[in-house]
Amino acid sequence: MSPSNRRDAKRTNTLGVRTSQFGVQLQMRFPARRSAGALVLALALIFALQPSAFAHTPPKVPKLSKQQLIALVDKYAAKYGIPRSIAHNLVEIESGWRQNARSYRGARGIMQLMPRTARGLRVNYRDPRQNIEGGMRYLRILYDQFRRWDLALAAYHSGPRNVIRFNGVPPKSRKYVA
């Protein structure tokens, strides 16, 4: 081995870089004289794997006035053929017209949509417009299934399976429907 090759062999190092957050480990063998470039490359790869601080920031949704909410409820109730009184009473009972309402069971928004139901309806429950549209559409789907408003409201409250299981309004939904 020539003297220059021995020198290069002695300068060869292993760079091990680890991020505990992702369990990523990079190991590279390189001559020491190129170590600065390899270090920059390794650090660039690590930072590329780090999640952005802003990656999961939900989009800002508008806060609407009660008059705007009433207008939206009226609009979507008419669109889906829901009597205005039923639509208004439903919103009053579900959320008291609070846009950011959240139940202990996880229902969200003015219409108290469960996140899974909202996903199925392809609406963003955080956006009051989409929450109202999704809630009214869901109520119409339930009405089309049960053909009676009391059963549709009971299904909205306790789920369609419970209405089927009890062959009518479930006991826990009787006050809700009344």
133 is catalytic: no
Closest to 30 measured CA to CA, from 16, 5, 12, 10: 12
The continuous run of DSSP H or E covering 140 comes out as helix 128-146
Instruction: Spot the catalytic one: 77, 80, 94, 142.
Output: 94
Inter-residue long-range contacts of 138-146, CB under 8 Å, 24+ positions, other chains counted: 138/111, 138/113, 139/80, 139/82, 139/86, 139/87, 139/90, 140/80, 140/81, 140/82, 143/82
Residue 102 phi, psi dihedral angles, 5° rounding:
-145, 125
List residues with catalytic annotation.
Answer: 94
